[in-house]
Structure 1
Amino acid sequence: MTFLSRRTIVQAASAAWLASHLPGVAFAQDTGPIKVGVLIIDSGPFATYASLVEDSARAAVDLLNSEGGALGRKFEVVVQAHAGTPASAIAAASKLVQQGGVSFLTGQTPTSHSLAIAPKLAEWNALMIDVYSQGDDLMTKACQPNFFRVTTPDVVYTAMLREFVKKSGAKTWNMISPDYAVGHTFTAKFTDMVKEQGGTVQQTLFAPQGTTDFGSYISQLAKPADALMVTLYMSDGNSFAKQQKQFGLFDKYKTVLGNGFATEFQLSAQGDSVLGVLNGLSYHNTMPGERNAVFVKAYEARNKRKPIYTDADMMVAMELLRAAIVKAKSTEVPAVRAALAGLKTPTIYGEVEMRAADHTLIRQHGVAEVVKTPDGKATTFVMRSIVPGTQLFPPPSPECKVQ
């Protein structure tokens, strides 16, 4: 048996204390991976999208790691699935932080989930970069110090569509939206915008999440109007698209606009049923820039398809996280949060700014039309306009207190 002297024990204890308290001292765990928790939904209509979210996160991390990661450390994706309710989202996020050793969260978080998670982040000592939600409250009264977002909020999406509403000449509108937070907030914003231009929203329908039979809704929407706005996501949007075609619903309108409807990852399932739909689109793989070209090449080599807007949003979130960590020279949450607020950095979208006042990314947005591919065998998007974020985002709300 080996016995240690009292002096040796005291010296060892002192060294351990110093190593854990003095700044600049390297820890063993500081050389390990930077874990990023990715939430996905494995049941209900959003489950269709889960694998895409995971693929986009892993592709982004692979590219950043091939470039050296951050501070000499690699990124690591930690996936946590849940049932798709705000309560299950909180439980999944908590598990990632408290059991998975995760400090940074992202993933598949509809507005209702982000609203539930955001207030918990400070007590968890975690930071979230949202790549999914659209609700405006998250940049106004519901903003939180540890919550950041790269996606396009409803108010910006509405601003982008204003041009097309004006050009369409439509005076009367019908709308169908999901019967939860984002559907109601977008409907209110769009209705106000139509009224500002002298038009009328004559019919507003809300369909519960997971609706499979849209027959009654289609019958009501068949009443005369100049234009239709469709805000239906995932499998709900696919079901509506196929069923409306059976009744020729879109043929009854001069213009059909989509919000989260007829998106790139849905086109193969929706086929010709969404031809001519004008859809808000924040990104397309043909956008200019050397950084985007690198991303598209790397993504296509890894996933055997070109990236879509959801992949791009995840990539930008990871680029921002890396830039903030490098700027902070730390992975400690308070330091990264301070570095991320007001950060300006080059990304696949070009130079962007994470606005310090409300933790909202100021970025571009556009509108695209669903058209046939040149060979006529499939459908694709053609960008009709791209507008810089500085022309689209409203000023920060005085309701938001993040500093």
Structure 2
Amino acid sequence: MQWHGHEQTKAHFAMEYHKMVKVRKVAIFSLAVAVTMLSAGCSQGLLGSGGDSGSAAEQGPIVLGMLIPQSGSEAAVGPYMQNAAQMAVDEINEQGGVLGRKLELKVADDACDPQTAVAGANKLVTEGIAVSVGGYCSGATLPTLPVFGKANIPMIIPAANSQELVDQRLKHVFLINGTGAQQAAAAVKWITKRGAKNVALVHDNTSYSKDIAVRTQQILDEPGGPETAIVEAVTPKESDYSANVTNILAKKPDFVYWTGYFQEGGLLTRQLRQAGYKGDIMVADGAVSEKLVEIAGGEHAEGVYATMTYTPDTIEGAEGWIENYKKKFGTAPGPYSNQAYDAVRLAAEAIKRAGSTDGDKIIAALEGIDGFPMFSGPLKFTPEHTLATGGFQILVVKSGTFVLQDSLQ
């Protein structure tokens, strides 16, 4: 069952819309608008076949490419992103596609590894993709920027969010996840709410992880902020972090913020608790996964906080979308599924507005978008091609699951 296919679904979201008006969330409003557009098939939505289909050579499906981790330590996230992207492709195709052509999704493995990612990006280029809608690990996404740039392929990056992706100021790169700077600001807001005095920041020296840790430290070091106890770097993919744990605990922190991925985050959480640490533990968005809870052990993970952008189960009005995902794939959507879904929708909208699959025209269309409805709210890119607002919130592990703790509004 898709959003646009059933009157019952329309009625459900109409009810959600009226409830939304009372509860102030812009993100809910934009989601309701998006659902209305999909349900009605209105001419101003991303669907439909209006516009110039481009040159006579542009025939057959319009191909979108997605680099995601299908192997390696972060492989658990890949299926969430691929499934949601395919769900969006299927829905758009059911409404007639874009410019009278069907969409097709091509997926390649980046393994969260730079060399694997470059090979995957080159493979997607040879397969003739019009837009890249992937990118999970920043360290693996960064070396693909010149690959897609040389081919003049726009990148709509749904998850990777290191500030290094932004600082290069490349015309073809657009982020629809909050940046490292925005995540650091959200982290400090929660650290301050918790009344922490000595904060340990722990990263794995990757672009994404170190970026968040350094930016968080910079804010904490400002006058009036908590004192940073220690900045500790670990070696990823190890099984024993006891030396790091000893270094951290020697400074007697009352708050530990891990900014890397779930594999190491789970191990650190378990080893910190086993060493007797009683204070708060928080992880960044790359560690938000059921795997973290599994690796840490349920009792050790309980109460762990996380800085995280919108997930399907923390968005009011997304119940129908979640149900559709479950029916289609037999499992619940996970982290970055909604961002991957929106990346495809945004790519389709930009191609439609561009009237062709020409890279420069798509880039110009993306830059001109103002108010396009996504799960995170109405979209308008900053001059740096980032979201105007980061949309980070605080989750917490309760009964083995990450749930919403504080929206930081």
TM range (shorter): 0.7 to 0.9
Conserved 8 A contact 1:280-1:368: yes
Conserved 8 A contact 1:94-1:124: no
Is 1:38 the counterpart of 2:63? The answer is no
**Aligned ranges 1:125-274 → 2 under 5 Å:** 125-140=152-167, 142-196=168-222, 197-223=224-250, 224-249=252-277, 251=278, 253=279, 255-260=280-285, 262-266=287-291, 269=294, 270=296, 271-274=298-301
User: Which range is displaced more, 173-182 or 68-77?
Assistant: 68-77
Is 1:115 the counterpart of 2:142? The answer is yes
The alignment partner of 1:71 has SS state of coil
Is 1:27 the counterpart of 2:52? The answer is no
**Is there any run of 5+ residues in structure 2 with no aligned partner, and where?**
1-51
| Cα deviations by residue, 1:333-378 (Å, 9 ceiling, x for unpaired) | 11111100131211233312123x11113345233342434xxxx4
2:324 to 275, 284, 298: 298
AA at the equivalent of 2:404: V
Conserved 8 A contact 1:44-1:210: no
Once the two structures are TM-superposed, the CA of residue 191 in structure 1 deviates from its matched residue by 0.6
User: How many residue pairs end up in the alignment?
Assistant: 353
Question: 1:385: which partner in 2?
Answer: 407
Is 1:361 the counterpart of 2:382? The answer is no
| Cα deviations by residue, 1:152-201 (Å, 9 ceiling, x for unpaired) | 11100112223212222212111211122222221211111111233222
The alignment partner of 2:217 has SS state of helix
The alignment partner of 2:285 has SS state of coil
Once the two structures are TM-superposed, the CA of residue 293 in structure 1 deviates from its matched residue by 4.2
Conserved 8 A contact 2:113-2:140: yes
The alignment partner of 2:188 has SS state of helix
- Tell me the distance in 2 between the aligned counterparts of 1:87 and 1:179: 17
The alignment partner of 2:387 has SS state of strand
Conserved 8 A contact 1:267-1:379: no
- Tell me the distance in 1 between the aligned counterparts of 2:63 and 2:358: 12
Could you list the runs of 4 or more consecutive aligned residues of structure 1 that deviate by over 4 angstroms after TM superposition? 23-26, 286-290
1:334 to 360, 366, 378: 360
- Tell me the distance in 1 between the aligned counterparts of 2:384 and 2:73: 31
Once the two structures are TM-superposed, the CA of residue 100 in structure 1 deviates from its matched residue by 0.9
| CA 1:24–1:349: 2 relative to 1, 3 Å | closer
- Tell me the distance in 2 between the aligned counterparts of 1:279 and 1:317: 23
- Tell me the distance in 1 between the aligned counterparts of 2:316 and 2:357: 29
**Aligned ranges 1:280-319 → 2 under 5 Å:** 280-287=307-314, 292-319=318-345
Is 1:320 the counterpart of 2:346? The answer is yes
| CA 1:386–1:101: 2 relative to 1, 3 Å | same
- Tell me the distance in 1 between the aligned counterparts of 2:316 and 2:328: 20
**Is there any run of 5+ residues in structure 1 with no aligned partner, and where?**
1-22, 388-403
Relative to its length, the structure with more strand (as a share) is 1
AA at the equivalent of 1:385: S
| CA 1:294–1:65: 2 relative to 1, 3 Å | farther
1:75 to 103, 110, 133: 103
Conserved 8 A contact 1:289-1:350: no
- Tell me the distance in 1 between the aligned counterparts of 2:102 and 2:157: 21
The alignment partner of 2:100 has SS state of coil
The alignment partner of 2:338 has SS state of helix
Question: 2:82: which partner in 1?
Answer: 54
AA at the equivalent of 1:102: I
Percent sequence identity is: 24
Conserved 8 A contact 2:82-2:340: no
| CA 1:238–1:176: 2 relative to 1, 3 Å | same
AA at the equivalent of 1:215: S
Once the two structures are TM-superposed, the CA of residue 113 in structure 1 deviates from its matched residue by 2.7
- Tell me the distance in 1 between the aligned counterparts of 2:218 and 2:367: 31
Higher relative contact order (CA 8 A, sep 6+): 2
AA at the equivalent of 1:214: Y
Question: 1:392: which partner in 2?
Answer: none
| Cα deviations by residue, 1:64-85 (Å, 9 ceiling, x for unpaired) | 3334332232221111224543
